[in-house]
Structure 1
Amino acid sequence: MSATVTAVSSNGRYSFTKPNRESVTLLAGLGVEGDVHAGVTVKHRSRVAKNPTQPNLRQVHLIHEELFAEVAAAGFTVRPGELGENITTSGIDLLGLPVGTLLRLGDEAVVEVTGLRNPCVQIDNVQDGLLKQVLGRDGAGNLVRRAGIMSIVITGGVVRPGDPIEVELPAEPHRPLDRV
């Protein structure tokens, strides 16, 4: 199965969910045009409170549509954009990608993977108990984050549902994803 974009979402105001769009425009070094989280420096409120001058490594949030099927098995219904992601994907193991992976989205846009999304308690506002579905522990007791990945925009362009995704891995040794 080839990797594709299944939905794109953005929101110009602070709200946990993001409405689906026909397309989004990625702006190099900034993020999704018109999205509240776009910018050179951090825009997530918790990050701004700690240090508003730190670089924005969370310009574009991607989440794998396959997660929605996994949480559905536990009785949850989640649709694209409801977990705050900008790009919903299918057919790609986002969580298994190393830091520095380039994702070519459609004809022009390129994002660089920076790390894992750190899911917060706001996810339970979408559906009570959902946070426990996207956070877990592995056999060694380590925290496992499954709520998608974060990236920065290297090359801007328009991204639409149905666009192909091409993966370009960085040079080895690969660094596993950690929260950003």
Structure 2
Amino acid sequence: MPAPHVVAVSRDETHRFSKVPVESITLVAGLGVLGDAHAGTLVQHRSRVRRDPNQPNLRQVHLLHSEVFEDARTMGYELGPGDLGENILTAGIDILGLPAGTLLDLGGPVVRLTGLRNPCSQINTFRAGLLRVVLARADGTPTDQPAPSTASPAAASTPVIRKAGVMAVVEHGGDVVPGRGIVVTLPDTPHTPLAPV
């Protein structure tokens, strides 16, 4: 496995499913990605704003492991940087297996992991059937059904595996560019597994 590193970076100033790959992004502490629609101290995700616009923004930065593109390819989908709406595409690191509170040093800028991205049916609008690449039942079989809303009681009882990346907040700002190494600092034990945010 290659050393953990940044593969690509993306942002978009409008609320669209995909983001535009760029040469670099600037992270701002407590805010997110400069010039991105999801930057802010309070929640920016449209469905969450409708529920409660005063929630803290735990989804300032979306990180995705590039290895999911291989999974997609074996299922007939070609994906590229920014296609799944991520800000930072990584390689060589099991971001889904890291605990909540993990710090990722991206070559100066530092983000703190807050939770898993909960994939929704918009993924199937982007590419029909793509949801099955990033969502599976607990036994590993893909599913075309959206995961229950994290606010619903069904979310606690429905065992699914979410593979659409992780969300983070910015602890230390600065520029992130492709090729930079990623240094992982785990939080103190006991570790709390990432849950959907």
TM-score above 0.5, yes or no = yes
Give me the CA root mean square deviation. 1.0
Residue 13 of structure 1 aligns to a residue whose secondary structure is coil
Opposite residue 138 of structure 2, the aligned amino acid is D
1:125 corresponding residue in structure 2: 125
- The corresponding residue for 1:24 is 25
- Which residue of 2 is the match for residue 112 of structure 1? 112
SS of the residue corresponding to residue 68 of structure 1 reads: helix
Which residue of the partner structure matches residue 134 of structure 2?
134
Aligned to 2:9: 8
Q: Does 1:169 align with 2:186?
A: yes
Q: Does residue 1:157 correspond to 2:186, yes or no?
A: no
Q: Name the structure 1 match of 2:155.
A: none
Shift of 1:139: 2.9
Write the distance in 1 (CA, Å) between the matches of 2:100 and 2:169. Answer: 11
Distance (Å, rounded) in 1 between the aligned partners of 2:178 and 2:34 = 16
Cα distance in 2 for partners of 1:39, 1:12 equals 12
Q: What SS does structure 1 have at the residue aligned with 2:50?
A: helix
**Same amino acid, percent of matched pairs:** 54
Tell me the amino acid that sits aligned with residue 165 of structure 2. Answer: G
Q: What TM-score does the superposition give when structure 2 sets the normalisation length?
A: 0.89
| Alignment partner, residue 144 of structure 1 | 161
Q: Deviations over 1:93-151 (max 9, x none)?
A: 00000000000001x10000000000111111221000121111113961110000000
Matched, 1:179 2:196: yes
Moved more, 24-33 or 70-79: 70-79
> Tell me, which stretches of 5 or more residues in structure 1 are unaligned?
none
User: Helix, strand or coil: the match of 1:113?
Assistant: strand
Identify unmatched segments of 5+ residues in structure 2.
141-157
What CA distance in whole angstroms lies between the structure 2 residues aligned with 1:7 and 1:114? 21
Runs of 4+ in 1 over 3 A off after TM superposition: none
Q: Helix, strand or coil for the counterpart of 2:72?
A: helix
Structure 2: how far apart are the matches of 1:36 and 1:148? 18
Query: What do residues 47-101 of structure 1 show as CA deviations (whole Å, max 9, x unaligned)?
Result: 1010000000000000000000111101111111000000000000000000000
Q: 1: distance between equivalents of 2:132 and 2:67?
A: 17
- Say which SS state the counterpart of residue 175 (structure 2) adopts: strand
